[in-house]
Structure 1
Amino acid sequence: MKVAIIGLGFRLGYLGRIFRDMDPTFEIVGHVDPAPAGLPGLDEAGISAGKAYATPQEMIASETFDLLMVGSPNHMHLEHIRIGLEAGLTVFTEKPIVVTIEESLELARLLHRHGHDRLLVGLVLRYSPLYRDLRQAQAEGRLGEIVSIEASEHIEPYHGAFFMRDWRRYGRYAGGFMLEKCCHDLDLYNGVVGARPRYVSSFGGRKSFIPANDPRNEGANDMEVYHRKPSGWEGSDKVFDSDGDLIDYQTAIVEYENGAAMTFHTNLNVPDQFRRFCVIGSKGMAEGDFVRGYLDVHSARNNEKVVAKTYQAPSEMSHHYGADEQMAEDVFKFITEGQTLPVSALNAIEAGILALAMDEARFARKVVDLAPVWAEYDACLHGTAAASSAAQTKSA
């Protein structure tokens, strides 16, 4: 499989290695990136990044390939996706797919014109063994109707510090932390509920990564933990005095169109990190943790544990609990055999709209009603009505 890359950052540099491990014929024919942070990782693995081009248009005109991969900063995704779709290419984009409601509507218009199946998205947790087993238990009727979900994504201080130092610290580039990082999780639980979110409220801010908590105030000189993960484009060495507008904790409550409810919590300063969920249905409950690697399902009829599974990543170098390896295999089969993928661009847009609504609710301290957004989104997606350039959300 031959690919071309727009935005050769750390993520696509890593995925290049995963795709090569899965497919020995994998080849990067070219890339567009003025400062490709992922290049050293490819070099270390003996993988060529192909020819460097100044613009996506020049690369597309000069090379022949099976897949255009977009790994540019989030705020550039829409334009790079547009270039690929209008050139008739199959496009893979990293998450989040776009960074505003307005861009979500514009992408829906693009998909109406060019089709949904030519845009793939790296919501990699859909490929994880744990999530697949959760959906299997649900399909077997072990949970019944989904009633409520309690879920979280908590990350270690070194990773939180990376966000405070990286370009992702700016909302204008990343779209906010819920969108940048937690869209994975929101997509998973949207899938489990099987309905769109309707009402959203949220609270949060920054309380950990602030000057008052700088370890150097206590005489500590060892800051290695906060610089362990390197930053790329527009990187900074400031952690507790970051100039970004990123939050470091947030909670949200969601009611779905079918009446199911979810609470979601994220925090960037959790020393013993976890990424867990409890999905409670009318017939049973499923509890699991992606970091700690387990899934338990209990029956509400007799309290018995009917599923008990544990998980381990394929190697110490594996990201996302083995899901990257499965995603690479499935994307390859999609390109070569037309195999169906477990996540779509539409799933990504809808998870992104939920994340953006969480931030709107947090900023305005209100309950956001997403009904007007979904109406305009559907009009854009299906071409059934002229859609305005922006969606107006209403408080409940």
Structure 2
Amino acid sequence: MKVGIIGLGFRLAYLAYVFKAIDENFEIVGYVDPEPTGLPELVEKKISVGTSYASPQELTANEKLDLLMIGSPNHMHLDHIRIGLEAGLKVFCEKPIVTTIEDSIELARLMAKFGHERLMVGLVLRYSPMYRDLLAAQATGVLGNIVSIEASEHIYPYHGAFFMRDWRRYEKYSGSFMLEKCCHDLDLYNGIVGVRPERVASFGGRRSFIPANDPRNEGINDMTMFYSKPSGWQGSDKVFDSDGDIIDYQVAIVEYANGVGMNFHTNLNVPDQFRRFAIMGSRGMAEGDFIRGYLDIHEVLSGAKVVEKKYATRTALSQHYGADEQMAADLIAHVRTGKHLPVSTLNALEAGILALAMDEARLKRTIVDLRPVWDSFDEALHARAA
């Protein structure tokens, strides 16, 4: 399996290691990246990266690829996806797949032209054992009709500091923190509800990573924790005085087309992090936490706990609760045999549009009605191929 990479950062270097562990025939034959921050990791692991090319066009013209993997900064994804599709390749792109509503609609046009099966997306949590078990339980009817969802993703201060120092601190590159980090979670709950979100309200800002909270103000000079996760391209050493424009906390309320309500909360400065959900249905309730590794389901009528499962939060290969190696195995099978994947480009675009609507609502301090966006999106999605 011959693979080309555009954007050899930390994430794709790690995924290349996972893919190679799953399939020894996985071979990187070339890459494009003027500052390949993930290259030392692959050199250390003795994984060859092939030829360094000056442009994606040179890579696709000079190598016969089974798969093109895109890990470039988010704002570049659309152009790199287009290059891969126009070259006739199967393409894998890390999340978030694009960074604006306009680019979402343009990618929908590309899907209409080239089809959906040639583009895969790295929404890795869809592959996690817990989410698969949750979907299987929902399919039995134990939850009944979904009524409301409470969900969150909170991260350790060292991880929050990474976002304040990395290129992701600029919304012009990342799209936003909600899009960059939480699109995983929004995709999961979109999948549970089964219809699109329609109305969104949101509030948030930066209240933790600000100069007034710098520990050095109190004579605490050991800042090691805040630099323990290295930054890459456009990196900075500023944490509490970051020049970025991303938030460090946000809350949002969502109403779906079928009336289901969801509230979602994220925070970048949590000393005991968690990534949990409570899904309330007419017949039961599912509660789980990816970081703390449990899924419990209770019936309404009896009050009995009918599902109680524990999960490993890390495995030998996976940074995402056992999901990375499953994604690698499924993507390899999809490239070779056309195996159906649990997440699609359409899922990724819908989750991204929801995240972007949350940020629009936060910035404008208004309720965002997504129905006009979906109308334009569907028009593009179902357009005739040019």
Match in the other structure for 1:301:
301
Match in the other structure for 1:272:
272
Relative to structure 1, is the Cα distance of residues 150 and 302 closer, same or farther in structure 2, using a 3 angstrom cutoff?
same
Match in the other structure for 1:26:
26
Match in the other structure for 1:66:
66
Relative to structure 1, is the Cα distance of residues 7 and 330 closer, same or farther in structure 2, using a 3 angstrom cutoff?
same
Q: Which runs of 5+ in 2 are unaligned?
A: none
Partner of 1:280: helix, strand, or coil? strand
Match in the other structure for 1:256:
256
Match in the other structure for 1:393:
none
The residue correspondences of 1:146-165 to structure 2 (distance < 5 A) are 146-165=146-165
Match in the other structure for 1:318:
318
Counterpart-to-counterpart distance in 2, 1:314 and 1:70: 24
Match in the other structure for 1:87:
87
Partner of 2:207: helix, strand, or coil? coil
Counterpart-to-counterpart distance in 1, 2:230 and 2:258: 43
1:214-246 Cα distance to aligned partner (Å, 9 max, x none): 000011111010000000000000000000001
Match in the other structure for 2:217:
217
1:171-219 Cα distance to aligned partner (Å, 9 max, x none): 0000001100000000000000000000000000000000000000011
Relative to structure 1, is the Cα distance of residues 84 and 199 closer, same or farther in structure 2, using a 3 angstrom cutoff?
same
1:330-373 Cα distance to aligned partner (Å, 9 max, x none): 00110112110000000000000000000000000000000000
Match in the other structure for 1:394:
none
Match in the other structure for 2:239:
239
Counterpart-to-counterpart distance in 1, 2:182 and 2:288: 17
Q: Percent identity?
A: 70
Counterpart-to-counterpart distance in 2, 1:86 and 1:385: 13
Partner of 1:164: helix, strand, or coil? helix
Match in the other structure for 1:340:
340
Match in the other structure for 2:177:
177
TM-score between the two structures when normalised by the length of structure 2: 0.99
Counterpart-to-counterpart distance in 2, 1:127 and 1:233: 29
Partner of 2:274: helix, strand, or coil? coil
Is the 8 Å Cα contact of residues 200 and 361 (structure 1) preserved in structure 2? yes
Match in the other structure for 2:203:
203
Counterpart-to-counterpart distance in 1, 2:313 and 2:179: 25
Counterpart-to-counterpart distance in 1, 2:370 and 2:210: 33
Q: What is the letter of the counterpart of residue 331 of structure 2?
A: V
Is the 8 Å Cα contact of residues 379 and 385 (structure 1) preserved in structure 2? no
Counterpart-to-counterpart distance in 1, 2:223 and 2:330: 40
1:65-119 Cα distance to aligned partner (Å, 9 max, x none): 2100000000000000000011111000000000000000000001100001100
TM-score between the two structures when normalised by the length of structure 1: 0.96
Relative to structure 1, is the Cα distance of residues 314 and 235 closer, same or farther in structure 2, using a 3 angstrom cutoff?
closer
Partner of 1:105: helix, strand, or coil? helix
Match in the other structure for 1:391:
none
Match in the other structure for 1:143:
143
> Do residues 6 (structure 1) and 6 (structure 2) align?
yes
Counterpart-to-counterpart distance in 1, 2:67 and 2:2: 7
1:318 deviates by 2.7
Counterpart-to-counterpart distance in 1, 2:326 and 2:316: 16
Q: What is the letter of the counterpart of residue 371 of structure 1?
A: R
Match in the other structure for 2:42:
42
Is the 8 Å Cα contact of residues 198 and 370 (structure 2) preserved in structure 1? yes
1:152 deviates by 0.1
Match in the other structure for 1:228:
228
Is the 8 Å Cα contact of residues 124 and 184 (structure 1) preserved in structure 2? yes
Partner of 1:320: helix, strand, or coil? coil
Partner of 1:8: helix, strand, or coil? coil
Aligned pairs, number = 386
4+ residue segments displaced more than 2 Å:
313-318
1:279 deviates by 0.4
Q: Which runs of 5+ in 1 are unaligned?
A: 387-396
The residue correspondences of 1:373-384 to structure 2 (distance < 5 A) are 373-383=373-383
Relative to structure 1, is the Cα distance of residues 274 and 316 closer, same or farther in structure 2, using a 3 angstrom cutoff?
farther
What is the RMSD of the two structures over their aligned residues, measured on CA atoms?
1.2
